[in-house]
Amino acid sequence: MLQQVWADAQQTLFGSDGTDGSKLAVGASAATLLATVFAFLFMPGLSFPVLAGFLVVTAVGWVTYQGAIARLLTLIATILTVLTVLLITVFLFVRAVPAFTEHGPGLLLVPVKNGDPRWFFWLESVLPTSETFWNPSGGAYSLIPAIWATVIVTLVAGAVAIPLGLFGALFIAEVASDGLREIIKPGVEVLAGIPSIVYGFIGFQVLNGFVQESFLDDGASFMIAGIVVGIMALPTIVSVGEDALSSVPDAMGDGAIAMGATEWQTMKSISIPAAFSGISAAVILGLGRAIGETMAVAAIMAAGVGLANPLFDFFDASATLTSLIAVNYGSASESTLEVLFVAGVMLFVIVAGMSVVSQYIEQRMKEKLKGQA
Amino acid sequence: MSEAYTHETAIISEGSNSYDRVLDGAIAISILAFATALLALIEIVPLDATGGELGSFLLSLFAAVSGAVGLTAVASWANVVPVTSQRVRGIAVSLVVTAGLLTAIAYAAAVNLATIFGLVLVVEALVIIGAGISSRLAIVDTEPDSSAGLLAGGAFAAVGLVVGGALGGSVVGFDSVLWLLTALVAGGGLGMVTILPREDIGSTLPVGLVVGTLGVAIATAAIGVGWQWNPETLSGGFTGGAVIPLFVLFGTLLSAWSAAKCRAGFGAQGREYGAFFVINLNALLMVSVMIAIVLFVAVKGAAYAIHGFSAGALTILVVLTPALALATEIARSPSGTGDWHPGAATLFRLTPLAATGAVAAVLTTVLVTGQALRYPFTYLIQVNRESEPLETAITITPEPAVGAVMLTLVGALMFVVLFRRYGSLRNVGATFPRAETVRQAVPAAVATVVLLLGAFVVVGSSPAGVPLGTTLGTAVVGAGGLAAVGLTALPVAGVLTRDGPLADRLQASAPLFTVGIFGALGLSIAVLFLQPTAGVAPSVLGVDIVPAAAVLAGLLCAVAAGAASYGARTTDESLQTRLLGEETVLGLTGAAGFVTLLGAHVLATGARFSVLGTAITTEGTFSWPMLMQAYIPLGAEPGGIMPAVVGTVWLVIGASLFALPLGVGAAVFLTEYAEQGRFTAVVEIATNALWSTPSIVFGLFGAAFLIPRLGGNESLLAGMLVLGFMLLPLVLITSRESILAVPDEYRDASAALGVSRWETIRSVVLPAAMPGVITGGILGIGRIAGETAPLILVLGSTLNATEPVKVLQGFRFVAQPPFIVNDQLLAASASLPTQVWAVIAAGVSGSPQMGWATAAILLSVVLTFYGLGITARTYFRRKLNYE
């Protein structure tokens, strides 16, 4: 067993065609790198000299056994990348554990109003309830309002982005001429590139005033944040949806057209059904973007935490999970920090999960289309 | 989609009748009302505008429409872009007619915009119902299906639910159950009306009902401009000002769809026309939103961002040189497609060149007359909630000076461009025995200078008190300068001393060109480096030798280039023309090289150099306070955001240094070395998931993991690493995709030649995959350059930073471990995105104008990256397709 592991490790490290010399070079390089890592972890002061040693050894190896060293370097890059991913994931969870153990279900306090717990999808009978639900100094940390705020903002964003995005994807994939596509596709990419803080600043400076005047609102509200976030999620839906529609084999559309169908009939009855799973992946990814959006929401809505009253009042305002972290982190006490990590873990799990699901759907669609093409 | 069915217009080509014309009119008025409602929504035109105000707005709309249609009509008439579709023609004519009609109504009747909107909707409803009925009664020839279909039925049922619910709710209130009943009745009714009758009724009557209801409500001012509905259950409410435009947007979209359907005679054709209409309008809407956002930010930020901008005319002329090269390149490139008239294509290709010439002439005028170009303007800034006017100006000064940095950069750029363009002059021209001697002597001379340089570096400029530097150094520098000038004089001398036609003389002197120019450049570079090590800057009669030599040598190169260019015109032999072209390029390369040397000399010695009244200075004549100054506390002029710009530059550099090698390396391993299996699949899924992880989560990680390990403070280094973590997945994904896209044939062919795996990767796979890697990298950098959320947790920015980070100066070597430290990397920094956030967070005390200007600059930085990335991709793709 151990021997097997050792053999595998050797195989990974040296590749299958190593000579003694190349093994020596690779081994020395890898050993000095390991030493660097240890030095960084336990004697940070020494890490630079050891790192310099690694660089020298590697440079010597590069001159003598370039192929083997190059392979080692790419291996190191891979290991570091994987480690980064693991580190981020594990660290987030570890930091969130204390808050979980300390507060438990107390993180999901349902607010009480006029003596009665607020209606929250019949969950109020299961979850603990409290008059104060967000009071860092008093130890009341309910993430329910922030979660619900995230849900409403995402719903509004979805209402804006999904129809517009799907029509946009249809336009680029099926309707636009080649020349027009050359212009609009990069245009959509540029729309995705506009930094969120710029959207936030527009919302903060302009849209809030507009809402006060036209919608008799106090200013910041779920609605305006949702619309802005929807515009931000739009490019994701358009480009992923367009990819899905374009990956439908031409032969399928040609078949329909040969039967005398119009382009719209072909689109409606062939392209969209064939690409349906890809389109739903686009919607999932777009909603994931909307959930994770921070700066626009933080800039538009005030930092207060409160459960919308009534639940579907999209003129109300509250910090979402993301803006809760962004706004409170700087001034938070240790116990609040831990709660913020719980919020971070929630976001991470939800959005990463959505990404994995959408990848799975896309994969399946590709395989299916491959079988039919 | 295949090309088989793209010409839908060819199917319907018979002349249009009145039915068609009326429906084209309905479509046109929908488009007009849609656009106007958008403008009304963002309050460019008030809803209660009447008489002259409304009239002048509509008049400008009419003018815009007429202009657009007119130009298109001319283009169509001249066969530049022939428009053959009857429908497009009909809509275009109707656009002009209806815009004119609306303008006339606005001037003639005392109605406000809201009422006009209402009337438009009512008219459209009537037209659509009329069209449906005339189709049903077989007055016109259409091909309707038996039903409008479940999809349309469901959509109208939903519309009915909402409208009915809202109406019921506002009449009887939401407390009683009645509103639910009205909603259900309206929804069900509309759904039935859509599905049950034949298609021509089913897709017009419900539209007419809905649009008509909206129109009547608006026209009778039941929902007027001052209308408000403020339900107690909601924190906000609705006003006429917002609701009317939204109703109009919805109503016009609906009626445009229906009218388009009627126009194409229902059935499959009708559905297609209707659906395409909506899809196209939606695309138009998206593009206009995008353009509006970018323009809005740019306009808002422009005044503050260019406050106090000034530049010397000479500086701009220098900067214009690369533009000239680019314009020439565009003018030389053949026109792309045969669709255009060749004359028009040539005109477009020449435009950049002409524009460059025009700008250069204006700048030269400024230089010659000594009159500054000045564009003064005033704008408002917000100081403690009060608007204050601020006067400033953009100036182009006639100062005959150019900054050394600018000169060096432009010179180096031009040198690289020209040198790449230069091919070879090997084995051309007569043999000069002496030239051979020079060819061997120059490297020897350069080597001697370099040896001397090394000696000075080792022992110092005055070893053991002997002033070797001032004596020997001065002599060598002087001799080197003279020799450089002599070498560049070689081509000219060669041409002058020979006999025969100019072109032949030039061709024969080709070896003198290469020896003279390359030799002089090499010698000058060596001398330039010798100067600081020897600690001398020799001058004769107050003129520094090295820059003077560079100017002379540059001029001689330019003369040689000019002669070669002139000589090329005097000959008809194509080979000779080509060779003389090479000589021209070589001469220009030399000139650019000497200009670079000139700038580098001034940069290195810090002494200004002036010739013929033109100065090359260390302090340039280019001043852009917003980017080049830090915040000035209590200053009269608004300061700049230089610390933020510097911070963003370092963040981008740091993140790229971290993520690009790691990402590309990992992609190579995963694709080329690792076995494709579960491990690679898991890594791929994980990186994809990491890519969509909210940025704030990265910030959380950075703040809690990196900061305690990097000195405990918010720092630039932490910001770099966090952004690097965010960039890593994207680089990995795009690199992996582009490496996977390299065909296996390449690898097999290379392996068949006995090339090792790594050599194959390095010389075959990576070059082929490079375009994708570069594009992905640039786009990713653009994305992280604008990233804010993680930075507010880890960077520690403050509003109004006065000092930029000085990373390069921050490196220090210390005696104890870790031997090398950089306090600046571990200090907080400003950055563009966090600067915008700081303005927001500062609330009232933040200056909105500074926020807009910062946002505009941030946007331009990010969009530049995106533009570069997209251009690179298009360029590589074209190259791939045409080669």
Q: Spell out the domain ranges in chain B.
A: 3-148+200-295, 151-196, 310-399, 418-616, 643-882
- Round to whole Å and give the CA distance between A116 and A135: 19
User: Could you tell me if A15 and A151 lie in one domain?
Assistant: no
Asked if B705 and A87 come within 8 Å (Cβ–Cβ), the reply is yes
pLDDT band at A333 (very low <50, low <70, confident <90, very high): confident
Q: What is the mean pLDDT of chain A?
A: 83
Q: Do A213 and B241 touch (CB under 8 A)?
A: yes
Cβ neighbours of A298 in B, within 8 Å:
789
Per-residue confidence band for B610, with pLDDT thresholds at 50, 70 and 90:
confident
pLDDT at B1 over 50: no
HEC letters along A154-195: HHHHHHHHHHHHHHHHHHHHHHCCHHHHHHHHHHHHHHHHCC
B236-289 pLDDT, tens digit per residue, is 777 778 888 888 998 998 899 899 888 888 888 888 888 888 888 888 888 888
What confidence tens digit (pLDDT) does each residue in B337-384 have? Answer: 555 566 777 777 888 889 988 988 888 888 888 788 888 888 877 776
- For residue B817, name the pLDDT band (cuts at 50, 70, 90): low
Q: Do A88 and B866 touch (CB under 8 A)?
A: no
Is B866–A261 a contact, with Cβ atoms under 8 angstroms apart? no
Tens digit of each residue's pLDDT (9 = 90 or more) over B49-69: 777 788 888 899 999 999 999
Residue B184 has pLDDT above 50, yes or no: yes
DSSP bridge pairs for B401: B615
pLDDT at residue B120, rounded to an integer? 92
pLDDT of residue B4: 36
- Interfacial A residues in 201-230 facing B (CB < 8 Å): 201-202, 204-206, 210-211, 213-218, 221, 223
pLDDT at B11 over 60: no
pLDDT of residue B126: 93
When the pLDDT of each residue in chain B is averaged and rounded to a whole number, the result is 81
Alpha helices in B341-432 (DSSP H): 342-369, 404-421
Which range, of A155-159, A345-349, B493-497, averages the lowest pLDDT? B493-497
Q: Is the domain of A257 the same as that of A281?
A: yes
Question: Would you state the pLDDT for residue B461?
Answer: 67
Indicate the residue among A117, A140, A163 that finishes a domain: A140
Whether residue A183 sits in one domain with residue A128: no
Cβ separation B848–A253 shorter than 8 A: no
| The pLDDT of residue B8 is above 60 | no
**Does position B9 have pLDDT exceeding 70, yes or no?**
no
Range 22-81 of A in CB contact (< 8 A) with B = 43-49, 66-68, 70-71, 73-78, 80-81
CA distances from B325 to A58, A272, A351, B267, B418 (A): 43, 48, 49, 57, 9
pLDDT band with cut points at 50, 70 and 90 for residue B580: confident
Q: Is A258 on the interface with B (CB under 8 A)?
A: yes
What's the confidence (pLDDT) of residue B63?
92
Phi, psi of B311 (to 5 degrees): -150, 145
Identify the CA nearest to A325 among candidates B418, B145, B701. Answer: B701
B5 pLDDT exceeds 60?
no
A-B interface: how many C-beta pairs under 8 angstroms? 334
Among B237, B757, B833, whose Cβ lies nearest the Cβ of A67? B757
Contacts of residue A189 in chain B, CB cutoff 8 Å? Answer: 779, 866, 870
Residues in B touching A211 (Cβ below 8 Å): 236
pLDDT at B226 over 90: no
Instruction: Give the closest of A67, A92, A217 to B697, CB-based.
Output: A92
Task: State whether A231 and A178 are in the same domain.
Answer: yes
Note the pLDDT of residue B634: 62
Q: Distances from the Cα of A333 to the Cαs of A302, A307, A329, A345, in angstroms?
A: 20, 23, 9, 18
Average pLDDT over residues A258-277: 86
CA distance, residue A130 to nearest chain B CA (Å):
23
| Tens-digit pLDDT profile for residues A161-213 | 999 999 999 999 888 888 788 888 888 888 888 888 999 888 888 887 777 77
Q: Comparing A261-275, B589-603, B805-819, B821-835, which segment has the lowest mean pLDDT?
A: B805-819
> Which positions in chain B touch A340 (Cβ < 8 Å)?
700
Partner-chain contact A197 B1, CB within 8 Å: no
Question: What distances in angstroms separate CA B755 from CA B15, B752, B769, one per listed residue?
Answer: 69, 7, 18
Return the closest-CA partner of residue A202 out of A300, A338, A334: A300
Region A123-147: mean pLDDT is 77
Task: Determine whether the interchain pair B43/A200 forms a contact, defined as Cβ–Cβ distance below 8 Å.
Answer: no
Which strand ranges, in their side-by-side order, compose the sheet holding B622-623? Answer: B373-383, B386-397, B310-312, B622-623
**pLDDT at position B494 over 80:** no
Contacts of A218 in chain B (CB under 8 A): 235-236
CA dihedral B105, B106, B108, B110 (to 10 degrees): 120
Spatial contact of B30 and B256, defined as CB atoms under 8 Å apart: yes
Whether residue B664 and residue A170 make contact (CB cut-off 8 A), yes or no, is no
Model pLDDT, residue B14 = 46
Q: Are residues A178 and A117 in the same domain?
A: no
Alpha carbon distance B410, B322 (integer Å): 7
- Local confidence band at B816 (pLDDT 50, 70, 90 cut-offs): low
Do residues A52 and A67 both lie within one domain? yes
Chain A residues within an 8 Å CB radius of B701? 88, 91-92
Residues in contact with B20: Cβ distance below 8 Å, sequence separation at least 6, in sequence order: B86, B90, B263
Chain A residues lying within 8 Å of B271, measured CB to CB: 262, 264-265
Bridge partners of B610, per DSSP, are B615
The highest-confidence range among A42-46, B70-74, B86-90, B460-464, by mean pLDDT, is B70-74
Find the mean pLDDT for residues A27-55.
Answer: 79
Find the residue in A nearest to B683 (Cα).
Answer: A82
Give the per-residue pLDDT at B15.
43
Q: Do B704 and A190 touch (CB under 8 A)?
A: no
- Which region among A9-13, B438-442, B793-797 has the lowest average model confidence (pLDDT)? A9-13
Q: What's the alpha-carbon Rg for chain A, to the nearest Å?
A: 27
pLDDT band at B125 (very low <50, low <70, confident <90, very high): very high
**Is residue A299 located within the same domain as residue A199?**
yes
> Is there a contact between B752 and B786 (Cβ–Cβ < 8 Å)?
no
Hey, what's the torsion of the CAs at A231, A232, A237, A240, to 10 degrees? 150
Res B424 pLDDT > 70: yes
Which H or E run contains A30? Answer: helix A20-42
Is A180 or B176 the better-scoring residue by pLDDT?
A180
- Mean pLDDT of the region A278-307: 85
Q: How many domains does chain A have?
A: 3
| Residue A366 contacts B, CB cutoff 8 Å | no
Q: Is residue B42 pLDDT above 70, yes or no?
A: yes
8 Å CB contact of A46 and B691: no
- CB-based contact, A285 to chain B, within 8 Å: yes
Distance between B235 CA and the closest CA of chain A, angstroms: 5
Range of the domain at A12: 2-102
Which of B286, B296, B797, B873 to probe the A interface (max A CBs under 10 A)? B286
Q: What one-character-per-residue DSSP string does B589-604 give?
A: HHHHHHHHHHHHHHHH
* Residue A157: predicted pLDDT: 93
Q: Are B672 and A63 in contact (CB under 8 A)?
A: no
Q: Report the residue of chain A nearest B844, measured CA to CA.
A: A205
pLDDT at A213: 73
Same domain, A117 and A202: no
Does residue B542 carry a pLDDT above 90?
A: no
What pLDDT, on a 0 to 100 scale, did the predictor assign at position B737? 87
* B840 with A204: Cβ contact below 8 A: yes
Query: Closest residue of A to B837, CA-based?
Result: A197
Q: Which CATH architecture has domain B643-882?
A: Orthogonal Bundle (1.10)
Across B199-218, average pLDDT:
88
What pLDDT score was predicted for residue B611? Answer: 75
Radius of gyration of chain B (CA): 36
pLDDT higher for B805 or B866?
B866
Same domain, A118 and A153: no
Give the span between the Cα atoms of B402 and B316, in whole angstroms: 9
Task: Write down the pLDDT at residue B2.
Answer: 35
User: What ipTM describes this predicted complex?
Assistant: 0.89
Looking at the complex, does the CB of residue A266 fall below 8 Å from at least one CB of chain B?
Answer: yes
User: How does pLDDT run across B504-540, given as a tens digit for each residue?
Assistant: 777 777 777 787 888 888 888 888 887 777 777 777 6
Residues 6+ apart with CB under 8 A from A128: A105, A106, A108, A109, A110
CATH number of the structural domain spanning residue A365? 1.10.3720.10
Check whether residue A354 and residue A225 sit in a common domain. Answer: yes
Chain B environment of A217 (Cβ under 8 Å): 235-237
Q: CA-to-CA distance for A289 and A234, rounded, in angstroms? A: 10
B300 vs B631, more confident = B300
Per 3-state DSSP, chain B is made up of helix, strand and coil in percentages (nearest 5) of: 70, 5, 25
When CB atoms are compared, the residue of B2, B663, B687 closest to A250 is B2
